Amino acid sequence: MELTADEAREAIDKGIPLLQAGRVGVDPHAVEDELRRLSRNLAETAELGTAAQRTAEKLGAETVDLAPLLGPALSAERATIERAAGDLGVDADALAELLELALQPFLWEATARLGALTDIDRWDRGYCPVCGAWPGLAELLGPEKRRALRCVRCGVMWSWFVLLCPYCGNDDHRTLGVLQEEGSPSRVDVCRSCNGYVKAIPSYTPSAAVMLAAADVTTMHLDLAAGEAGYKRPGDVDVRTAGIPRLVRQRASYAQE
């Protein structure tokens, strides 16, 4: 059963990432083919004898039943992947990475379908509305530099206030700041409350999902600068309130009273 428009709207209202809220049709056999193709490539190009290379060789030669692994891989549920790696006799990190790569085109497709199903931009949380990951970067869009968060994993975009930390929900301008090299159009938004940071790059229009990983890599100098200044991604967040803006938390507690 695919997620309906009503279920998707309800999940967006409740802050539940859509891939957690319901099944999205991803054909395990198509992902298996992609995993085998990627594994064969990696087995040939990676350094011989490393854990990654041995894992790729095995996954390239065998057919792995991915049906029970798709859900855990989509929601980055580590324990199940580790058990599967143990059963297969392969390296867990390499398996997780290969699965992630194999799933990416299907994630992009799912994101596009979900975007047509419901208005994702109504999402008011700091984590990804589709897959639940933390944003990889922000784009500052158009001449007015409107800030939008981007999930590098599934490609989704959602609008976000400039003075709001996506990790801890802090919106106090006194503890929010910017690291920016003089003359550079890119910057790093930092939060002194949770020590988190988000890179921000100007872009006239939103980048295509397939370009985001490259944008993430070419702005690595911003990650280094943020790390040197003592910031990390995500910041130190409390699991109970992670990704929920202060105002949204207040609204929820008023509603309960």
Q: Residue 209 carries which side chain, given as an amino acid letter?
A: A
Q: Which is nearer to Zn ion, 60 or 243 (CB)?
A: 243
Q: Give me 192's structure tokens.
A: 């002194």
- Helix and strand tally (H, E) in the chain? 10, 6
Q: Can you tell me the distance from the alpha carbon of 5 to that of 3, in angstroms, rounded to the nearest whole number?
A: 7
Q: Which is nearer to Zn ion, 24 or 43 (CB)?
A: 24
Q: How many residues bind Zn ion (CB under 5 A)?
A: 16
Q: Which is nearer to Zn ion, 72 or 235 (CB)?
A: 235
**Binding to Zn ion by residue 162, rule CB under 5 A?**
no
Residues 6+ apart with CB under 8 A from 125: 15, 166, 243, 244, 245, 248
Sheet holding 196-203, edge to edge: 157-159, 146-150, 137-141, 196-203, 187-191, 176-179
**Binding to Zn ion by residue 11, rule CB under 5 A?**
no
Q: Which is nearer to Zn ion, 42 or 226 (CB)?
A: 226
Binding mask 165-204 for Zn ion (x = CB under 5 A): x-xx-x--------------------x-xx-x--------
The count of other CB atoms within 10 Å of the CB of residue 2 is 12
Adjacent-strand bridge partners of 178: 189
Binding mask 102-131 for Zn ion (x = CB under 5 A): --------------------------x-xx
Sites of contact with Zn ion (CB under 5 A): 128, 130-131, 133, 151, 153-154, 165, 167-168, 170, 191, 193-194, 196, 235
